[in-house]
Structure 1
Amino acid sequence: MKKFMDDNFLLSNAVAEDLYHNHAAKMPIIDYHNHLPPEDIASDRCFANMAEATLEGDHYKWRGMRSNGIEERFITGDAKPEEKWQKWAETIPFTMRNPLYHWQHLELQRYFGVNDLLNGDKARKIYETCNEQLANQSHSCRNLLRQQNVEVLCTTDDPADNLQFHQVCSEEIEDFKALPTFRPDKALALDDLYAWNEWIDKLAQIADQEVKSFDGALQVLKDRHNYFHERGCRLSDHGLPRAYYTDYTASELDAAFAKARAKTELSDQEKEILCTAFMQGFGRWNAEKGWAMQLHLGPMRNNSTRRFETVGRDAGFDSMNDLPIAEKLSRFMDSLDVKNELPKTILYNLNPKDNAVLGTMIGNFQDGGQAGKIQFGSGWWFLDQLDGMEKQMNDLSNFGLISKFVGMLTDSRSFLSFPRHEYFRRLLCDLFARDVAQGKLPDDRKFLAQLIEDICYNNAKNYFKF
């Protein structure tokens, strides 16, 4: 019987152990998509306690606590930090076989050297042990990143952001990069035209010009795209329930935009026209600048109206949608590709039913000028767990070239989440090693080692060119 989470955790044979310990483990981390607050990196924040460091903003853990019957005041409410930590510790034993169980113990081991199993009885001791370390500069936000050998991380930023915190990072940090990502989702948020118009007006104010037409809106967004590029941004990111595409004329586009600016309710077709046109613009600019475009497809957000009104968004009340995504995604990508304006693109699905759709879609638009130009992105959100990551890698292997995969990301709001890269790397090494053990792959250790290092780091470095 193997010991829980020992040095060979998730590694089933000697080939896996060699590939991981001698190759994957040593590679730096390029975390090209996360939701870390850039202000925390700029200020080099030190967390006051483990409740802040572990539970603040982590909706994965909040969902687990709610499922365990923990009252909201111990999750997002006004309970004391030590009380929140205690309730989380009491929840942990009941998360067995949920990824939270592995993630929490990896965090304790890798950042704090704590090998005890977390539970209610040990909560106070572990809390005090970790708090002592958090009080030291060794566990500031920047140094937590350094501990995990992070070379590049890309936050998620609204086009209206002035990126002042990224500027501080670029001036003060020499050994890793904290870069912005262009996330213009508010351009497509046409269900609330009052909020949408406020956002358009904010962009217009930044640009010091009026926005009276779609072309005017596109221009102020392009100005922001240029601004982000000058500050090191090399990716856009788009969170979409599905892809958008419809044919439209210039007059139809102008009419839909005029209605939106007048705060007149739009038809579904008018929304589709505007969303299509905005996304085509973003795609063209990305292609011009050599950026990668990330399409995150499939969430159904804010399902609980009651909780949305009391707790807010991004609080653990989102789930998978099951909308069809294939046809409009294909038509959107083709509308750019037909003019050779399709940028490097990473496609993520939240619903595993779409694995084969994306696994085959990427092959439609590959380009001999860029290996792996179109990527089937890593297991995302509800799928960034052992089973989901393995399924994604198997489907990518079956339909494409996993050898050209740009690897894992955290997609996290937590500075303690970077052992997820280790989790992925261990699983990746074991996936290939099991095939070797079963005679499905040759034991060409030199080639396998290079392939593993490429997926863990080199492919991303060559793809994004930060």
Structure 2
Amino acid sequence: MKSFLDENFLLQTKTAERLYHDFAKDMPIIDYHNHLPPDQVLNNINFKNLTHAWLAGDHYKWRAMRTNGVNEKYCTGTDTSDYEKFEKWAETVPYTMRNPLYHWTHLELQRYFGIDTILNGDTAKAIYDEASEKLQTPEFNVQGLLASRKVETICTTDDPLDSLVHHKEYFDRTEQGVDMFPAFRPDKFILIENPAFASYLQRLGDIVGFEINDFDNLKKALRSRANFFAANGCRISDHGLEQIYASEFTEEGADKVLKKVLSGTSISPAEEVEFKSAILHSLGVMYSELGWVQQFHVGALRNNNLRAMRELGPDTGWDSIGDFPQAQAMSRFLGKLDEFNQLAKTVIYNLNPSDNYLIGTMIGNFNDGSVAGKVQFGSGWWFLDQKKGMEDQMDVLSNVGLISRFVGMLTDSRSFLSFPRHEYFRRILCNLLGNDIENGELPNDIKWIGQMVQDISYNNTKNYFGF
């Protein structure tokens, strides 16, 4: 019987062990999509305690705690102490077995704090005290946490309305530590059905210095903000949409829809999709002109619990996998850009596992030989960011594409303690390849396959994004 979380965790064969320890383990990390707060990187903060570092904003943990019967006050409440919240999480941990949270929790305790004790209600106080004490020391500030996992580059996710003040100040420093770049997330200017849409346009107009009263001015304003982002190191955009929009449109039609909304007139579902299709295509053209990589996270059904949305707001743990049609619109969107050589490098992340082969084959339609892996099937995302989900994504990509050109893992996280997820991914990758070698399904060419492991872990990412 193997020990839990030993040095060969998730590695089932000697070849897998060799691939991981000799090739993957020591590669640096480029985390090209996350939601880390840039002000905390700039100020190189120390977290007050383990709850602040680990539980604040973590809707994965909140969701598990609620399922375990924990009262909401221990998740998002303000009338309970930090330790009380941690204790409720510790009491929940034993009930998360076979959920990736169980693995991540103990990986993070081991990798950052050297704590290999199993977390539960009985061990909570000792673990909390030890980790919280360490978090107060200089080597456990934000830069220290990142350096301990060999994080080289991070890309945050930023609103076009953002001043990027923290990125700018950080970029101007002579000694920065990890490289930090912004990423452009303009979804609020696509989702025209949002009641706050007009107010977003007002704020955008205030920033760019002209009124956004038609479609052309909206395009100009977003381009102005994109240029500003590019001047501050941005080279990536990102979208979190239910699906890609690509109905027939004209800019004149999109302009009419926009003006109706600005006048307070309701629009039809068809008009809504026409506007979304027009602005998304315009953004795609812009990304190509800027030389950026565009990312699309598709398939999430968000804010299902209306009572929780009203009381707690978005991103608090009430989302799930959706079943939106993806193929035709995705094909039209990518195809319309490609037709006129305006398709930027593209990464598509899928949340519905039934669409894995759809995405895996879709990317091959637009890999035109100009760039290795120009259109990517992104790593397992959100509910699929776990062992089976990552294995399934890599199996599909292997079967219908080239996993050797894959740009690998990212955290998509708000926590500075989440970087062992890269290790988790690398162990799963090495196990897949090691098993194939020992089964005779791949040759015992350790030099070549070891190089492939390093490429997927780091080199492909560095080359693809140009870091």
Structure 2 counterpart SS, 1:26: coil
Shift of 1:146: 1.0
Aligned to 2:311: 310
Separation in 2 of the partners of 1:353 and 1:30? 29
Shift of 1:103: 0.2
Shift of 1:189: 2.1
Aligned to 1:184: 186
Bigger mean CA deviation after superposition, 375-384 or 208-217: 208-217
Separation in 2 of the partners of 1:171 and 1:153? 16
Structure 1 counterpart SS, 2:25: helix
Separation in 2 of the partners of 1:111 and 1:49? 14
Aligned to 1:348: 349
Structure 2 counterpart SS, 1:302: coil
Shift of 1:398: 0.5
Output one character per residue of 1:14-73: Cα deviation in whole Å (capped at 9) or x when no partner.
111111111111111000000111111111111111111110111101101001000000
Aligned to 1:51: 51
Output one character per residue of 1:430-465: Cα deviation in whole Å (capped at 9) or x when no partner.
100000010000010110111000000000000000
Separation in 1 of the partners of 2:396 and 2:117? 36
Residues 1:14 and 2:3 aligned together = no
Separation in 1 of the partners of 2:112 and 2:87? 19
Shift of 1:110: 0.3
Structure 2 counterpart SS, 1:259: helix
Aligned to 1:429: 430
Identical counterparts, % of pairs: 51
Separation in 1 of the partners of 2:288 and 2:252? 26
Contact preservation (8 Å) 2:143, 2:177:
no
Aligned to 1:407: 408
Aligned to 1:277: 278
Residues 1:175 and 2:177 aligned together = yes
Output one character per residue of 1:356-394: Cα deviation in whole Å (capped at 9) or x when no partner.
000000000002110000000000000000000000000
Contact preservation (8 Å) 1:244, 1:275:
yes
Separation in 2 of the partners of 1:8 and 1:64? 27
The amino acid that maps onto 1:315 is: T
Structure 2 counterpart SS, 1:129: helix
Separation in 2 of the partners of 1:204 and 1:406? 36
Shift of 1:320: 0.6
CA RMSD after TM alignment? 0.9
Output one character per residue of 1:387-441: Cα deviation in whole Å (capped at 9) or x when no partner.
0000000000001000000000000011100000000000000100000010000
Aligned to 1:329: 330
Residues 1:98 and 2:99 aligned together = yes
Shift of 1:251: 2.7
The amino acid that maps onto 1:231 is: N
Contact preservation (8 Å) 1:406, 1:456:
yes
Contact preservation (8 Å) 2:249, 2:275:
no
Shift of 1:213: 1.0
Separation in 2 of the partners of 1:29 and 1:452? 13
Aligned to 1:65: 65
Aligned to 1:136: 137
Aligned to 1:203: 204
The amino acid that maps onto 1:67 is: T
Where do 5+ consecutive residues of structure 1 fail to align? none
The amino acid that maps onto 2:12 is: S
1:461–1:68 distance in 2 versus 1, CA, 3 Å: same
| Number of matched pairs | 465
Where do 5+ consecutive residues of structure 2 fail to align? none
Aligned to 1:120: 121
- State the TM-score, normalized to the length of structure 1: 0.99
Structure 1 counterpart SS, 2:314: coil
Separation in 2 of the partners of 1:242 and 1:269? 15
Shift of 1:278: 1.1
- State the TM-score, normalized to the length of structure 2: 0.98
Separation in 2 of the partners of 1:34 and 1:126? 27
Equivalent positions of 1:223-372 (< 5 A) are 223-372=224-373
Aligned to 1:394: 395
Aligned to 1:373: 374
Structure 1 runs of 4+ with >4 Å offset: none
Output one character per residue of 1:116-151: Cα deviation in whole Å (capped at 9) or x when no partner.
000000000000000110010111112111111111
Contact preservation (8 Å) 2:241, 2:296:
yes
Structure 2 counterpart SS, 1:152: strand
Shift of 1:174: 3.4
Separation in 1 of the partners of 2:16 and 2:203? 52
Aligned to 2:42: 42
Contact preservation (8 Å) 2:251, 2:278:
no
Separation in 1 of the partners of 2:392 and 2:364? 18
Output one character per residue of 1:161-192: Cα deviation in whole Å (capped at 9) or x when no partner.
01011112212343321110000010122223
Shift of 1:249: 2.6
Contact preservation (8 Å) 1:169, 1:177:
no
